[in-house]
């Protein structure tokens, strides 16, 4: 197998990215509104109390009882789900801008987060102004989202925390979230939105309300990464992909070894998504790998700021790769 001139083992790069993912927060969980900011830590505490390393959940009824007594747990779930719905609705997604705009809208339309459907018009108005998005653009997707949210509450006759906690299979949770909340959205957008929810509610480092999935490492590692621009860019430029058996990997290495000095190699994002997902899988924790790679890509790699990047001592620095 042909390699590039990389001084560090690709497995070391992946290990560092997983460690980085453990050290940083899921993007939506950063800078939460004050009255829901405590919820992720409380859920993690309950997860540690009611599960063990063998994937066994003890006293499920006691767990859900304590979860239900967590102050504003339902409001927190609605907030995170609304973030995902708006990811799917805006025309030009900027996650940092979206998070700030939603937080501002939260303070101006509190009724919506206590009872989805109530105060929707105010939320749409506040968010569209803060984000700089046309109101008409987000009105319909948000209306569909609210209808699905209320259908869950009505048909299941359960609060959202209890509905989420009951899931045992990652695939079933993702399917039901897609069908209920994003039934008419375009494929790529809806998958990105719903996988944000899956990560938040199933990974032990986030807010693992779906405790039966979170406690089962095999099941939670079935998560399929989004493979967004930032995480794909880092996967390619860092060399984390180099020892993965893949035709795409072979083509990238071949192009790199044949390049002229100073030549840029342009790669279509869609052509390397599968490779990036494969790399995340072999890392041992696809959620943490994706989070770490996203953080490095968002903060450093797309500029690039190699000298300031915390990955620079193990990174292959293949900055001649350009992902489009």
Shared domain for 54 and 121, answered yes or no, is yes
- Give the model's pLDDT for residue 230: 95
- Domain assignment present for 3: no
Shared domain for 32 and 161, answered yes or no, is yes
Per-residue pLDDT of the chain (324 residues; tens, 9 = 90+): 445 656 678 999 999 999 999 999 999 999 899 999 999 999 999 999 999 877 778 899 999 999 999 999 999 999 999 999 998 888 888 888 999 999 999 998 888 898 887 888 889 999 999 998 888 888 888 888 888 888 887 766 789 999 999 999 999 999 999 988 887 655 677 888 999 999 999 999 999 999 999 999 999 999 999 999 999 999 999 999 999 999 999 999 999 989 988 899 999 999 999 999 999 999 999 999 999 999 999 999 999 999 999 999 999 999 999 999
Whether omega for the bond prior to residue 196 falls within 30 degrees of 0, making it cis, is no
- Give the model's pLDDT for residue 40: 98
Can you spell out the DSSP letters for 223-250? ------HHHHHHHHHHTTTTTS--HHHH
- Domain assignment present for 1: no
* Residue 301 and residue 235 in contact, taking contact as beta carbons nearer than 8 Å: no
- Give the model's pLDDT for residue 89: 87
* Residue 226 and residue 317 in contact, taking contact as beta carbons nearer than 8 Å: no
Q: What number of other Cβ atoms are within 10 A of residue 51's Cβ? A: 21
Its pTM stands at: 0.91
Shared domain for 33 and 145, answered yes or no, is yes
- Give the model's pLDDT for residue 116: 82
Shared domain for 297 and 190, answered yes or no, is no
- Give the model's pLDDT for residue 3: 53
Shared domain for 152 and 262, answered yes or no, is no
- Domain assignment present for 256: yes
- Domain assignment present for 4: no
- Give the model's pLDDT for residue 191: 87
Residue 267, H or E segment = strand 265-267
- Number of domains comprising the chain: 2
- Give the model's pLDDT for residue 141: 84
Can you spell out the DSSP letters for 61-94? HHHHHHHHTSTTHHHHHHHHHHHHHHHHH-SS--
Q: Which three-class secondary structure state does DSSP give residue 322?
A: strand
Shared domain for 77 and 197, answered yes or no, is yes
Tokens coding 63: 């767990």
Phi, psi of 132 (to 5 degrees): 80, 30
- Give the model's pLDDT for residue 14: 97
Domain extent at residue 259? 10-22+225-323
User: What is the rounded (10 degree) CA torsion for 28, 223, 226, 243?
Assistant: 120
């Amino acid at each position: 197998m042909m390699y590039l001139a990389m001084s560090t083992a690709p497995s070391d790069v992946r290990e560092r990215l997983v460690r980085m993912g453990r050290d940083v927060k899921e993007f939506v969980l950063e800078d939460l509104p004050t009255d829901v900011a405590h919820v992720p830590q409380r859920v993690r505490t309950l997860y540690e109390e009611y599960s063990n390393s063998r994937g066994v959940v003890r006293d499920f009824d006691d767990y859900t009882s304590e979860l239900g007594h967590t102050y504003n747990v339902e409001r927190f779930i609605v907030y995170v789900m609304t973030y995902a719905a708006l990811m799917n609705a805006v025309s030009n997604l900027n996650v940092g801008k979206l998070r700030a705009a939603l937080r501002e809208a939260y303070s101006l339309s509190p009724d919506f987060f206590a009872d989805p459907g109530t105060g929707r018009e105010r939320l749409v108005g506040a968010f569209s102004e803060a984000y700089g998005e046309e109101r008409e653009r987000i009105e319909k997707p948000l209306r569909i989202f609210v209808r699905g949210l209320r259908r869950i509450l009505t048909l299941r006759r359960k609060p959202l925390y209890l509905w989420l906690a009951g899931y045992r299979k990652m695939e079933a949770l993702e399917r039901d979230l897609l069908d209920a909340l994003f039934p008419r959205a375009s494929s790529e957008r809806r998958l990105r939105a719903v996988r944000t929810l899956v990560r938040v509610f199933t990974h032990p480092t986030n807010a693992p309300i779906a405790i039966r999935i979170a406690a089962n490492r095999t099941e939670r590692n079935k998560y399929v990464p989004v493979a967004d621009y930032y995480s794909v860019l880092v996967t390619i430029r860092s060399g984390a992909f180099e020892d993965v058996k893949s035709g795409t990997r072979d083509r990238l290495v071949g192009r790199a070894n044949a390049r002229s000095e100073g030549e840029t190699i342009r790669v279509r994002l869609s052509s390397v998504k599968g490779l990036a997902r494969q790399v995340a899988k072999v890392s041992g924790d696809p959620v943490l790998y994706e989070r770490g790679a996203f953080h490095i890509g968002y903060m450093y790699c797309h500029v690039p700021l190699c000298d300031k990047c915390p990955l620079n001592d193990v990174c292959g620095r293949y900055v001649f790769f350009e992902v489009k």
